[in-house]
Amino acid sequence: MELQIEDSELVRDYISGDEKALEILINKHNQRITSFIYSKVLDRDVTEDIFQDTFIKVIKTLKKGNYSEEGKFLPWVMRISHNLIIDYFRKNKRMPMFEGSDDFNIFSVIGDDKLNAEKQIIKDQISSDLRVLVEELPDDQKEVLLMRIYKDMSFKEISENTGVSINTALGRMRYALINLRKIIEKHNIVLTS
């Protein structure tokens, strides 16, 4: 026959320094408290967290000598876990958590188009390297390239601004790109991420 030690006796032993008494208390009420928490939160991980926090409070209160024994250890522990469950729901109400399912992923709807920090740094580095390379081009080619790429002007607008024909502007752009590639190859520069 299994000997059932009263909670009050175990609590007294624990307060007097018997750590084994705590283990017996936890194991004795484990299923009841865990099932109670789980019935409210319906999540195994959250249940573990609340169970842990409950007993951390129990341990602190007992060790500080703030517990008054009235033969109601289990209802007291249940009350602590109940309050922690309420805290959990209050916190979640302030910060609602959305959990996706297998057929629906929230990030497919709310994802942004921005690059991540690493890709943004690489893009900025490439842009700044390219600006240095553009400076190496002859002035007439550089002028056309800057107007076309950086100012987004049409070849018609470029020809009007530079006083050359559209064909000449197109030719300068072509040579600008060819020369840029030559510079890149010559110096073994890698511009892609």
Q: Which residues bind another protein (CB under 8 A)?
A: 19, 22-23, 26-27, 30-31, 33-35, 38-39, 42, 44, 47-48, 51-52, 55-56, 59-60, 63-65
Smallest gap from Cβ 65 to another protein, in A, equals: 8
C-alpha closest to that of 133 among 188, 53, 193, 95:
188
Smallest gap from Cβ 75 to another protein, in A, equals: 19
- Residue with smaller CB distance to another protein, 13 or 129: 13
Smallest gap from Cβ 102 to another protein, in A, equals: 17
- Residue with smaller CB distance to another protein, 43 or 157: 43
Cα dihedral across residues 107, 109, 110, 112: positive or negative: positive
> What's the rounded Cα separation, in Å, for the pair 48 and 33?
11
At position 179, the amino acid (one-letter code) is: N
> What's the rounded Cα separation, in Å, for the pair 26 and 184?
70
- Residue with smaller CB distance to another protein, 41 or 130: 41
- Residue with smaller CB distance to another protein, 60 or 151: 60
C-alpha closest to that of 100 among 90, 91, 111:
111
Instruction: Output the 3-class SS for 69-81.
Output: CCCCHHHHHHHHH
